[in-house]
Amino acid sequence: MVEPTAVASIAIKSASFIKKYWYVIAIILLILFLLPTLIFATVLNILFPQLDEEDFLYYKTLTEESGISWVSFISYDVTRLDNYLKENKAEESVFDLIKISFTEYEIVEREKEIIKIVDGKEVTETVTYKEYIVIRDLELKGHGPVSQLLKSLDYVISEESMKVKNVILFLENLNEKEEYETKTHILTDEEITTDYDEAHKEWYYALVEILPLLDPSSEFNPDEFIIPDLINNPDIPSIWPTTGSVTSEYGQRRLTGTHRGIDIGNNTGTPVYSTADGIVIGVGTSGGFGKRIMIYHGTDENGRTYVTVYAHLSAFKASVGANVSQGDLIGLMGNTGFSTGSHLHYEVRVNGTPLNPRLFLP
């Protein structure tokens, strides 16, 4: 593997913390909820980022034009929920990242008499002035309190109006009226992690560094991609991930969209190997992929980041955080997820973009 980056090693350290202490979390949950199914689901999902392209794009859409960094936002949700993102409503949690100061005044016109001396005589004169009486002085954060405030201001709540950029705009426009004073502040990474313990803090900052590298919409033109030297190069995916026959090529059109990987069919239980040296960053069940493993292979000399995906497995033979070498057994072929027969779906993602795995096969 190319120089293992510091980022990756921090990420792994914090991921292994979660792994090491999953039983503590499980016991607490057992006491709190006594719901074994919930525990099972939670433990299954205490893994390093299980984010797919759709998640990235959704988080990005939510933060668009709001000034909130999507990287901080994803890092926040992943660490806060210990990666249990399934039931998270990101369109609500995004409001955790802004702090709103809001003051409302009642403006009362008052009169008072003043005594002036005109030509040596005392003259009483009545003047009017405004008194600002504070009716509400709030500091709030979070979707619930924010939408309550908005309702009290007769803001029409809808999916569109509750986009964070529209809310910020509305609140800031309130300042044009004399009776309001509002300020929105976007939390910094330090502020977001104030109440975090050390391990979660480390995890958060590792994500802040690693997520931009995995961004599927980063400035990367696959057509300009220069394939590195693959022969005897353990740093770059360059061997077959398993044995069998290719049943579907990259780029084939299907009902669900274009095929982003290559399918290799063989019997369930056929060994699946890591195609380059790397660090296992994802082991878990992910929608249509079924049981899938993701491996991060570092960056080549042109700054391209490599991640490989192995889907529809029947069993895992590697755990999150493990260092693997090219050719190491990582799982067994299977038929999990959206799959109509035992096969391996294999992807090579360069800077987050799935390229044709054939480019990386001997």
> Which residues contact Zn ion by CB under 5 A?
261, 263, 345
Q: How far is Cα 291 from Cα 280, in angstroms, rounded to an integer?
A: 14
**Counting Cβ atoms within 10 Å, is residue 334 exposed (0-12), middle (13-18) or buried (19+)?**
buried
Which position's Cβ is nearest Zn ion? 345
Cβ 242 to Zn ion shortest distance, Å: 13
Residue 77 or residue 263: which is nearer to Zn ion going by CB? 263
Q: In the complex with Zn ion, which residue's Cβ is closer, 202 or 263?
A: 263
CB of 291 to Zn ion, least distance (A): 14
> Least Å distance between CB 334 and Zn ion?
13
DSSP for 177-216 reads STTEEEEEEEPPHHHHTTT--HHHHHHHHHHHHHGGGG-T
Residue 319 CB, shortest distance to Zn ion, in Å, is 24
CB of 343 to Zn ion, least distance (A): 7
Report the C-alpha gap between 92 and 87 in whole angstroms.
Answer: 12
Residue closer to Zn ion, measured from CB, 80 or 345: 345
Cα(355)–Cα(347) distance, integer angstroms: 7
Task: Specify the residue, 33 or 338, whose C-beta has the smaller distance to Zn ion.
Answer: 338
Q: How far is the CB of 3 from Zn ion (least distance, A)?
A: 32
Residue 304 vs 312, nearer CB to Zn ion: 312
Taking the alpha carbons of 60, 254, 261, 290 in that order, is the dihedral positive or negative? positive
Q: Are 295 and 330 in contact (CB under 8 A)?
A: yes
User: Based on CB atoms, which residue is closest to Zn ion, 128 or 340?
Assistant: 340
Choose between 277 and 347: whose C-beta lies nearer to Zn ion. 347
Count, residues in the chain: 362
Report how far Cα 164 is from the mean position of its chain's Cα atoms: 16
Question: Cβ 233 to Zn ion, closest distance in Å?
Answer: 25
> In whole angstroms, how far apart are CA 227 and each of 159, 224, 353, 355?
44, 9, 14, 11
Q: Which residues contact 252 (CB under 8 A, 6 or more apart)?
A: 258, 259
DSSP for 125-184? EEEEEEEEEEEEEEEE-SHHHHHHHHHHTTPPP-TTTTSHHHHHHHHHHGGGSTTEEEEE
